[in-house]
Amino acid sequence: MLPSFLLSWILLRCADSFSVRVPPGPVVVARGATAFLSCEFEPDLNISHLVINWQRQEDARVVHSFYYQVDQLDRQSKDYLGRTKLNHNELAKGNASLSIANFGLNDAGKYLCTVTNTKGIGKGELQLVYAAFCSEPRLSIHLKSSDVTVQYEMEGYPRPEILWLGSLGQNLTDHLEISPASDGGLYYLKSSYVTQNSAVNVTFTLKNPAAHQDLQRHVILSYDENMTSRTNSSTYVLSILCVILLCSTVLLLWLYCRRDK
Ligand SMILES: *[C@@H]1O[C@H](CO)[C@@H](O)[C@H](O)[C@H]1NC(C)=O
Ligand SMILES: *[C@@H]1O[C@H](CO)[C@@H](O)[C@H](O)[C@H]1NC(C)=O
Ligand SMILES: *[C@@H]1O[C@H](CO)[C@@H](O)[C@H](O)[C@H]1NC(C)=O
Ligand SMILES: *[C@@H]1O[C@H](CO)[C@@H](O)[C@H](O)[C@H]1NC(C)=O
Ligand SMILES: *[C@@H]1O[C@H](CO)[C@@H](O)[C@H](O)[C@H]1NC(C)=O
């Protein structure tokens, strides 16, 4: 009685102890990088009974399969064609970690690592998050008669937190435009600050926590307030010159015609 109870307890413990271990929290992968999906299980030195299946949790797309001691890619989703790699030398050590090359926005999501061997069956779910480092913001300054526009343009993912700060650290109102960039998996962002002041002393700040990015760019600019009126006066001078030129041409033509008569 006791030995059989003990035996079933041990068997239960064994079945219980077969666990598939994956990283608990979301894993951030940068655009274009190789994602590393860690998955460990209780090893069995003889891998002839080992079945590994990597799938997307959301739609059961097959990412990578391994059984009969070889990669089985007949049912692999074409989205992962030629991009996945399972290190066969690690399998007997209980390591079913998979790598996915050239990570993109569509690769973000949940992945299931299912392992079956003589010790049991188990699965682990891990989440991959996509992020793209923001490009260096490109500055442009537009001077108009009525105001000055300071503008930064950049690409990145996800939507970063953008703030324009005044010289005293005050939050300035700004304008932000976001659109998907033609190059997939990136946002195109255009943020501007408009002022009527002739002296600009502002700080542009950008935070993209997913990509561990935190940058600040200072813009200091001052211009002559009378520049616009000078532009107006030069336009005025130019108009006068044109009128004089026109008048003299007409006069010359008139004189020329009179000489012919
Ligand atoms: C592994 O297991 C298979 C099937 O049980 C057996 O045929 C084979 O000899 C074993 N290999 C080793 C190295 O023990
Ligand atoms: C699992 O295998 C990968 C290579 O595929 C290796 O980089 C990683 O260090 C291994 N993990 C452990 C715990 O040995
Ligand atoms: C701009 O503001 C900063 C912070 O208040 C200050 O240290 C700096 O001197 C200012 N620069 C100009 C040119 O006013
Ligand atoms: C700054 O101001 C904008 C509106 O002008 C507001 O949406 C934003 O939350 C403010 N940010 C901070 C950090 O105060
Ligand atoms: C602009 O012109 C006015 C009068 O012509 C002058 O008093 C003022 O100092 C000028 N401003 C600058 C910034 O030069």
pLDDT, tens digit (0-9, with 9 covering 90-100), for 70-102: 999 999 999 999 999 999 999 999 999 999 999
Ligand 2 and 87: CB distance under 6 A = yes
State the pTM of this model.
0.74
- Token pair belonging to 211: 């990509």
pLDDT of residue 257: 77
pLDDT bucket at 164, cuts 50 / 70 / 90 = very high
Residue 8 has pLDDT above 60, yes or no: no
Residue 180 has pLDDT above 50, yes or no: yes
Within 8 A by CB and 6+ apart from 16, the residues are none
Nearest residue by C-alpha to atom 1 in ligand 2: 95
Helix (H, G, I), strand (E, B) or coil at 27: strand
pLDDT of residue 3: 52
The C-alpha atoms of residue 82 and residue 85 are separated, in whole angstroms, by 8
- Among all ligands shown, which has an atom nearest to the Cα of 161? 4
pLDDT bucket at 229, cuts 50 / 70 / 90 = low
Q: How many A from CA of 166 to the centre of ligand 5?
A: 25
